[in-house]
Structures are given as C-alpha cells and as structure tokens.
Amino acid sequence: MKNVNISTIMSALIALLTIMILMQGQMALAFPTTMILGIDDDSDKFALYDLETHEARLLDATILSGDDRGSGRAPREIESLTYGGDGIFYGVQSYNWKTTSQLYKFELSDDLNDITVEKVGTGFDASNIDAVEYADGLLYAVDNSKGKNELVAVDALTGQVADRRAVTGDRGAKKFEGLAYKDGTLYGSATTNDGKKKSDGTLTGGDHSSSLYTIDLVTGEAGLVGQIGFGQVESLTFAGDMLYGTSDTSDAFLEIALLLEGEGDLGNVLSDWGTDIEGIAGYSPNAAESPEPATMFLLASGLAGLAGLRRKFRK
C-alpha cells in the first residue's frame, strides 16, 4: 500500500469514471424509448405514439395550409413521412392534379413542440406520391399516377429524381401507399383491391385487405409476402425489427409480421390510433449511437488502469 502514490490513485479514479460513463451510455443504447411519429390528417398536426406505453398524443406543431404553404412552414396534405436520422424527417407533398411533387424536410425540437421546415428543391417529376422511405442516402417513393407505377429514387439533398424504374410483379403490385426499409429490403403495402371508406363510415366494395410486398431497389421487381388482413394500409414503418402500419378502413394501428406462419393474415391490431394517420416514421430519440473507436479506446484504457492498480496493490 505504501508504494501507491497520488498519480496511481488519480489514474484509478479516472478509469472508474470512464467505465461508469460508458456503462451509462450502453444502458441508454439498450433501453431506448421508441416512438412512432405520424401525420394526423384531421387536425393537420403531427401525432406521437409511444410503443412502450401505447399512448398517443397530438403535438403542438401544426401542419399549416392555405397561404402558409409558400412561407416556409409545413404544408397541408403531406401523405408520407420517413425518418432520415439525426432528428430529420422527410415528407412529400404530392400535387395529384399536376405532374410534380415537393419534398420537405422537418426537424423537431427536443421538447417536440416546435418544428423547423425546409423545402428541398423546387419539386420533382412525379405525382400521386402516397409514401416515401429513406434508405442509404436516397428517398424512395412509388408514383401511383395512372399508367405509371414507377419506383422513384429522390436525392435527399437536392429534392430531384436520381433514378426511376417500373415496378413489376403480379397484377396486385400497384397503388403502394406505405413503404418501409429494413436490412436492404424495401417493403410496400399495395391497396389495389381494398375499396374505400365513405364519409359516413361505410365501406365500398373490395376485399379490404392490403397486400404486403417486397420491392427490389435495383430491378423494381415486387414479390408478394402475404395479405395484411386490413384495408387501406396507408403507412408503414420499422421500429427496431418490427414492422408497423396504419389501416384507414379499420381505424387501426397494426403490428405486421414479415413471415406468415400457417394460415391467416400478417396484421395484428395494437390500438385504434390508425384513424386518419397518413404517414408514420419510427425513431428512438433517447437511443445512444454505437460505440466509436475512440470510445472503445477509452474503455480499454480504463480497464488497463484498473488492472495496473491491482498489480501495485499486490506488490
């Protein structure tokens, strides 16, 4: 003990502090609060759904319409939403009566009450966009215009089309209103045979079951996964490894399986939050980033310091 000097004790304390900080960061990584952000079409506001508490609430940030469309504020009738990382969300305002769509970038404040909106570019050549999804630096959408059915890749920095190709597959692989990306695969909900919900709440004809497809980003080929079991699934998103969606005709927030085991449908109702929710995006606001090399170096230094102190005490 007499050979242990002040420098050694300070090194040991720094090592312990380093390990405590890193453990706290890893706890944040292991237990993130996962949220689903959506666009509530009735109130023109963003809505938040907590996957842990299953509680939903409207945010104060309003999606304005009318004269505010050109003032830099969030426009109305954005029917798509995706999370691009670093607190940035993207949505597309699709002018169905024109031939262009407008990309917008949204940034929410830490308290989720204020929104910063930026128009990206001057519009891109595609219309009737009902879904958008961020993947590997590009935004993907399907142009649902009559006679089109094209997979469109949009540059997130310029808001312009980087590539487009026809979506091919069976006759049901059309009218994609929800998109979600995970591990190199793009998933889409096709609503070709769904039917609609009237203003009085009754449903028009149709099988009222959207179909889940995979869409190859290189070839545009769509492959059927299965029937979701709920109609007008107008939005999809991943939160962790789970796929979620909203059904307008069933007024439901869904958990959707990626593999059908036995007979039945892919969708399972979690709540009635899906009413008039047009686009959803999953994110974890409290999740820590993966440890960087410098972080791992600090951890190794802390452990080495403790090991050195133990050897001095033994002497």
Averaged pLDDT for residues 74-84: 77
Please check whether residues 42 and 25 belong to one and the same domain. Answer: no
CATH number reported for the structural domain that contains residue 52 in this entry: 2.120.10.30
β-bridge mates for residue 178, sequence order:
189
pLDDT at 67: 46
Check whether 61 has a pLDDT greater than 80: no
Residue 283's beta-bridge partner residues?
35
**What is the pTM (predicted TM-score) of this model?**
0.76
> What is the C-alpha separation between 246 and 233, in angstroms, rounded?
5
Q: Same domain, yes or no, for 51 and 22? A: no
pLDDT confidence tier of residue 166, bands split at 50, 70 and 90: very high
Whether 151 and 10 share a structural domain = no
User: Higher confidence at residue 280 or residue 111?
Assistant: 280
Are 119 and 243 part of one and the same domain? Answer: yes
Partners of 255 in the β-ladder? 244, 268
pLDDT of residue 208: 64
Asked if residue 189 and residue 307 are part of one domain, the reply reads: no
The pLDDT of residue 100 is above 80: yes
Q: What is the pLDDT of residue 3?
A: 53
pLDDT for position 4: 53
Q: Which domain holds residue 61?
A: 33-285
Task: Answer yes or no: do 20 and 79 share one domain.
Answer: no
Structural domains counted in the chain: 2
Enumerate the H helices of the chain as residue ranges.
6-30, 293-314
* Shared domain check, 306 and 227: no
The average pLDDT across 121-150 equals 91
- On whether both 63 and 180 belong to a single domain, the answer is yes
Of 96 and 159, the structure prediction assigns the larger pLDDT to 159
Kindly report the average pLDDT of the chain as a whole number. 77
> Quick check: helix, strand or coil at residue 235?
strand
Residues 65 and 193 occupy one common structural domain: yes
**What is the pairing mode between strands 222-227 and 55-62?**
unpaired
pLDDT in tens, 29-55: 333 458 899 988 777 788 889 898 888
The mean pLDDT value for 232-238 works out to 93
Whether residue 265 has pLDDT greater than 80 = yes
Q: Check residue 310 and give its pLDDT.
A: 53
For residue 78, the 8-state DSSP code is B
**Domain co-membership, 180 together with 201:** yes
What b-and-e string marks burial along 109-119, b requiring 16 or more CB atoms within 10 Å of the CB? eeebeebebeb
Task: Judge contact between 233 and 177, C-beta under 8 A.
Answer: yes
Region 247-254: mean pLDDT is 88
Are 24 and 105 members of one domain? no
Same domain, 167 and 224: yes
Using a pLDDT cut of 90, give the percent of the chain over it. Answer: 36
Least confident of 85-94, 169-178, 193-202, 288-297: 288-297
